[in-house]
Amino acid sequence: MFIKYSMERKRKLFVAKTAVVLGAIPFVIWAHEYGPDAGYCGVPGELGTCLGSLCHVGTLNGSGGSVKIAFPNGNTYTPGTAQHLTVTISDAAPTQRAWGFQLTARLAGKSNSMAGSFTSTDQLTGVQCASATNVEDELNGGNQINLPQSQACPSNHPLAYIEHSLLGYQTTLGQGGSASYQFDWTPPASNVGNVIFYVAGNAGPPGAPVATNAHVYTATFTLTPAAATGNPPAISAGGVVSAGAFGGFSSVAPGSWMEIYGANLSATSRQWAGSDFNGVDAPTSLDNVKVTIGGQAAFVDFIGSGQVNAQAPSNVAPGTAVPLTVTNPSGTSAAYNITVNALEPGLLAPPAFNIGGKQYAVAQFTDGSFVLPPNSIAGLTTRQAKPGETITFYGIGFGPVITSSNVNIPAGQIVQASNQLTNPMKVQFGNAAPVSPDYAGLAPGLVGLYQFNVKVPSVPNSDLVPLAFTLNGAAGTQTLFTAVHQ
């Protein structure tokens, strides 16, 4: 639930764009051996095509060729589900052996609103990002295309255009009859109605400059949302609890891990992986399964037909009837009302640590062995703790933390720095005086898991030492035990 796996580093290719005007012939321009600037694929209200725009001179849709997009799902899309698209520029003229394209996707009726995002699946394509109010305002001045795995454009440059790269031009140069480029398109996460693709392709003569013989083709393609299939998700009565291994309470807190039970919650079953993360940020969707609580996106760790695990966001407001929903491609569940408290602390104490009807908290020594009666659980190295030793407990729902730089760490992030709880926490062993942990905060390298390093006080020898804690003066509600021997 808490571990972030390795992340692939994104690579970027920086391409300096130039236009060379031959002095003797006005407007004879070098062809774009990499893709054009943003806005040249025929979107209404943008810059038209490369013809007459200081990059190509030739014909538009008049030379017997075409540009087409192959959609694997026909003319439909499933919200949030990526499609692998192929653009093919065709022209039978033997002189046309240099190939390029530009493509974008927009909401029907809102040609300045982006529909989804593009991802290059090889180094033959890249993405340009432009402003929605002025497509000539490009990210980094138009000098950057991201290869090979382009992420969504930033909010200040939301319009994405995928196009051939320099390597793509070089790879297809000299091919006769046609050339193709492939990439992924991920639709918006929800049903946004029809989506229109605008594409322009160029079949030009090899070599530069291109003066009079470019064959430019444009086309539009409309995709409609696929009809929902299967039954929508349904949350069971009493089906939302804080993580069961930490107490399984019927209420949660900001940052708490939750278990959601029901039917038709997901068509697939898996836990998150490193590829689902965006840097240190945990995913809010796995295979198009999403959870909201109080209208805020939760961080989804596990999905299955009957269970989804998620972490509540930090900014969910406390209340007694906070709506929680699960959404997947078949629809959205009815809202399940849950109580959100500012704090809902619980220590890690899974059923496997219930020994002889007594529930032990998970506590570890620095060598990774566990604080339990010896040989109490097969396959685990266990022993009693000694007074003066430091042991580590784990928990969820203990509230906000700050770093040494006084920075809050929000939910849904891999913790990068040591930190401390803003509310005081104490641990009590038997009848000994409560002790403050040497470390009480989120565990570095993990997501949403608190760590408490506690020095064991002097208590009578026992394999059933009662273990309790307080947070901000309020007692925890779990009945727990640990084992201590001199």
Q: Write down all domains in the chain, each with its CATH number in brackets.
A: 66-225 (2.60.40.680), 234-340 (2.60.40.10), 346-484 (no CATH)
pLDDT the model gives residue 10: 27
CA distance 154 to 61: 33
Secondary structure of the chain as H, E, C letters: CCECCCCCCCCEEECCCCCCECCCCCCCECCCCCCCCCCCCCCCCCCCCCECCCCECEEECCCCCEEEEECCCCCEECCCCCEEEEEEEEECCCCCCEEEEEEEEEECCEEEEECCEEEECCCCEEEEEECCCCCCCEHHHHCEEECCCCCCCCCCCCEEEEEECHHHHHHHCCCCEEEEEEEEEECCCCCCCCEEEEEEEEEECCCCCECCCEEEEEEEEEEEECCCCCCCCEEEEEEEEECHHHCCCCEECCCCEEEEEEECCCCCCEECCHHHCECCECCCCECCEEEEECCEECEEEEECCCEEEEECCCCCCCEEEEEEEEEECCEECCCEEEEECCCCCEECCCHHHEECCEEECCEECCCCCEECCCCCCCCCCEECECCCCEEEEEEECCCCEEECCCCECCCCECCCCCEEECCCEEEEECCCCCECCCEEEECCCECCCEEEEEECCCCCCEEEEEEEEEECCEECCCCEEEEECC
Which residue reads 């075409």 in tokens?
66
Q: Confidence band (pLDDT; 50, 70, 90) for 283?
A: very high
Residue 377 has pLDDT above 50, yes or no: yes
| Strand 110-114 to 382-383 pairing | unpaired
Percent of the chain with pLDDT over 90: 73
Most confidently predicted of 4-8, 124-128, 271-275, 476-480: 476-480
Distance CA 482, CA 276 (A): 37
At 90 the pLDDT is 98
Q: What confidence score (pLDDT) does residue 53 get?
A: 54
- pLDDT single digits (tens) 403-412: 999 999 999 9
Integer Cα distance of 309 and 157 in angstroms:
34
Which of residues 149 and 384 earns the better pLDDT score?
A: 384
Alpha-carbon radius of gyration of the chain? 29
Q: How far apart are CA 188 and CA 79, in angstroms?
A: 6
When the pLDDT of each residue in the chain is averaged and rounded to a whole number, the result is: 88
Query: Taking residues 149-163, what's their average pLDDT?
Result: 81
pLDDT confidence bin for 135, thresholds 50/70/90? confident
Q: pLDDT band for 140, please (50, 70, 90 cuts).
A: low
Range with lowest mean pLDDT among 90-99, 133-142, 255-264: 133-142
Please say if the pLDDT value at position 263 is more than 80: yes
Read off φ and ψ for residue 347, nearest 5 degrees: -90, 150
Q: What pLDDT, on a 0 to 100 scale, did the predictor assign at position 439?
A: 98
Q: What does each C-alpha distance from 190 to 78, 87, 97, 260, 333 come to in angstroms?
A: 9, 25, 41, 21, 14
Give the pLDDT score at 184.
Answer: 95
User: Do the beta carbons of residue 260 and residue 307 sit within 8 Å?
Assistant: yes
pTM: 0.63
What's the average model confidence in pLDDT over 416-441? 97
pLDDT of residue 9: 26
Residue type, 182: Q
* pLDDT for residue 23: 32
Q: For 295-305, what is the mean pLDDT?
A: 97
The distance in angstroms from the start CA to the end CA of the chain is 35
Q: Which residues contact 134 (CB under 8 A, 6 or more apart)?
A: none
Amino acid 7: pLDDT = 28
pLDDT at residue number 22:
27
Q: How far apart are CA 178 and CA 350, in angstroms?
A: 61
**Residue 115 confidence (pLDDT):** 95
